[in-house]
Amino acid sequence: MNEVLNENGFPFRGQGGIYLDYNATTPCDPRVVDAMLPYFYEHPGNPASRTHAIGWRADEAVKKARKQIAHLTKVEAHEIIFTSGATESNNFALKGIYESYQHKGNHIITLTTEHKAVLDPLKKLETLGAEVTYLDVEPDGMVDLQKLENAITSQTLLIATMWANNETGVIQNMKAIGELCNQKNILLFSDATQAVGKIQTHPKELGVQLMSFSAHKMYGPKGVGALYVAHQDPKIKLAEQMNGGGHERGNRSGTLNVPGIVGFGKAAEIAQQEMEVDSARLQQLRDKFENTLLQQLELTSINGHSKNRLAHTCNMSFKFIDGEALMNTFNQRLAVASGSACTSASIEPSHVLLGMGLSKHLAQASLRFSLGKFTTEAEIDEAAAIIIANVNHQRALSPIWEMYKDGVDVEGLI
């Protein structure tokens, strides 16, 4: 396959199709790869090796990356703990908090629209004695703050809520949630995997004590993530979940992934400089894409808040269409998703959309499109044309669609 560059300078290979699944993972920025390469062979040191210059050089590279990430999120460098990714960070935060603070309470509040990397650890904690309240969100994907407050009990230890949803892009009102937690003396944890590097995510300013995120969602490498843990007002102490050497100041044992961490730091530095410009451009492209589909396809709708949404994310429902079947008609010309990458093997409807109140049929008729810094306008135009043609074709084959066009009430048939 021949390698080609699109108009934004990103290398695509001939059979790759149009990539609109950036929320699953982003391609590495070439500048990130360039920063990482020397640490695979020129500078192979282990940062825990304190007896020679090669180890010192690795340690300095990790310190630099920690500062770059701390600068992006406006926290202190020593408050960043490196992990293998957001899933590990989520497990560390939730299990570490519960183990350390359950003497203060065993109740945790979360949203039904959280990522499975939050919901599954909470299910595990329930087997260990935790009481977990799972709140549905409003139809626009936002949590009702009054319902959130009403769910708080004298035993509530923690509220866990995503900063921005991975399927709909809906951005929660973290400032208001942080203020509520502060008033009630409750800890606040946020899975900010989709938000960091895309929008301003400053946990200290908003009363968030723990925040998880990953490099591969912000044009860095896979296999490296971070957990922000507040060290003052209050100082949070997590029970260690990974034992075996006391790395990361006793928080998380294991030899650090130096090349990945260097790439993570470089990605954070680039995001600090470019994310606002990227976001503005992507919102224009996404809005054009959405408007084209809404204008040319009837019974098509956007899932999620009209404004409080990531600029690059679009989740749409195409009534009387099966989303999985529609994706199969793209013949690898489009790379899109029907939900989270971590649940893509499931044929069940999206738990996020069900949590927003969508019917099972409409949830199964939905697809997620996520754009990125290497997406071009030409790709957006071509993608819209492919989707319109295939939705129309699929509907033309449907007896229910024909009945609907003839004026028959078909709601009871789906």
> DSSP characters for 234-256?
SBP-PPPSS-SS-HHHHTS-S--
Q: What's the pLDDT score for residue 339?
A: 63
Active-site option among 28, 181, 314, 342 = 342
Q: What's the pLDDT score for residue 85?
A: 96
Q: What's the pLDDT score for residue 63?
A: 97
Q: What's the pLDDT score for residue 6?
A: 55
User: For residues 220 and 268, what is the distance between their CA atoms, to the nearest angstrom?
Assistant: 8
Question: Taking Cα atoms as reference points, which of 349, 371, 305 lies closest to residue 18?
Answer: 371
CATH T-level topology, domain 3-28+275-413: Aspartate Aminotransferase, domain 1 (3.90.1150)
**Do 264 and 216 form a contact (C-beta atoms < 8 A)?**
no
Low-confidence ranges of the chain (pLDDT < 70): 1-16, 339-347, 412-414
Domain with CATH 3.40.640.10 in the chain: 30-269
User: For residues 198 and 272, what is the distance between their CA atoms, to the nearest angstrom?
Assistant: 9
Q: What's the pLDDT score for residue 13?
A: 42
* pTM of this structure: 0.93
Q: What's the pLDDT score for residue 392?
A: 96
Domain with CATH 3.90.1150.10 in the chain: 3-28+275-413
User: For residues 260 and 252, what is the distance between their CA atoms, to the nearest angstrom?
Assistant: 16
Q: What's the pLDDT score for residue 8?
A: 56
User: For residues 35 and 224, what is the distance between their CA atoms, to the nearest angstrom?
Assistant: 15
Q: Is 181 a catalytic residue?
A: no
CATH T-level topology, domain 30-269: Aspartate Aminotransferase; domain 2 (3.40.640)
**Do 91 and 241 form a contact (C-beta atoms < 8 A)?**
yes
